[in-house]
Amino acid sequence: MNRKLYLERDARDEPCYTAGEVAGYLRIPVSTVRAWCIGQARTGRPGSAGIRTGSDALIKPASVPPPMLSFWNLVEVYVLASLRRKHGVSLQRVRRALAFVEGKLGVDRPLIRQEFYTDGVKLFVEKYSNLLDVSHSGQLEWSQVISQAVKRVERDVNGLAARVYPWLNRPDEPRQIEIDPLRAFGRPVIVKTGIPTESVAERFRAGESIDAIAADFNLNRDLVEAAVRWESHAPAA
């Protein structure tokens, strides 16, 4: 099968999220999602006739205008956000590191592919660390964070991202929340249930107890608590 054609026709690459929704689902600032997927622009110096300069996007949105993101865009943002949570991400350096990985692996959009989750992680960390002149111990630390994070992305038989288990505090925490394009229209849900975390949190905010919600949904208490905790960390749009 032609891999590029497969990507173009796959429902996981259909536009379905706004930048704000992806930010909310992954618990990262919406400004970060916009910078990575839409690009940054700033007004030039006074007297420069309003010239706008900035940087191009790292990730190609599923559709523009208006910019709408796909599930695969969400996965790409998730992988980069996992690195950002440990260290600040320079757009230019990440762009160069991704171009290096694409060239070495011979694939486009490496962040959603099997190749990235094996050899690509090491290539990316080494290249990005070299651009920052990071020590070997620093490279090892980054590699561990990214390796743990990408293990939370499930792939289909073709090696393409099919489901992600985002993390809140650390990438090795239990897999209690999932984002699956085939469940609840791609919204975050309690793992293996299809129950949106937002629905659970709304009932808790309305005054219902954790035990009552757990009983109604036939869930363990810890999963209800995880959903409430997840929704309580939503960033401002």
Instruction: Say if 180 falls within a structural domain.
Output: yes
Instruction: Say if 143 falls within a structural domain.
Output: no
Average pLDDT, the chain: 84
Q: Tell me, what CATH number does 193's domain have?
A: 1.10.10.10
Condensed to tens digits (0 to 9), the pLDDT of residues 183-202 reads 999 999 999 999 999 999 99
Condensed to tens digits (0 to 9), the pLDDT of residues 113-163 reads 999 988 888 888 888 777 766 666 666 666 777 788 889 999 999 999 999
Instruction: Please tell me the distance from the alpha carbon of residue 56 to that of residue 4, in angstroms, as a whole number.
Output: 23
Nearest to 170 by CA among 143, 149, 191, 139: 149
- Count structural domains, the chain: 1
Instruction: Say if 86 falls within a structural domain.
Output: no
C-alpha torsion angle, residues 188, 194, 200, 202 (rounded to 10): 70
pLDDT for residue 86: 62
Residue range(s) defining the domain that contains residue 213:
174-237
Read off the pLDDT band of 234 (50, 70, 90).
Answer: low
Instruction: Say if 22 falls within a structural domain.
Output: no
Nearest to 125 by CA among 140, 103, 105: 140
Instruction: Say if 209 falls within a structural domain.
Output: yes
For residue 196, cis peptide bond before it (omega within 30 degrees of 0): no
Beta strands in the chain (DSSP E): 40-43, 52-55, 153-155, 161-164, 177-178, 189-190
C-alpha torsion angle, residues 214, 220, 225, 231 (rounded to 10): -80
Share of the chain above pLDDT 70, in %: 81
pLDDT for residue 143: 72
Instruction: Say if 80 falls within a structural domain.
Output: no
Instruction: Say if 214 falls within a structural domain.
Output: yes
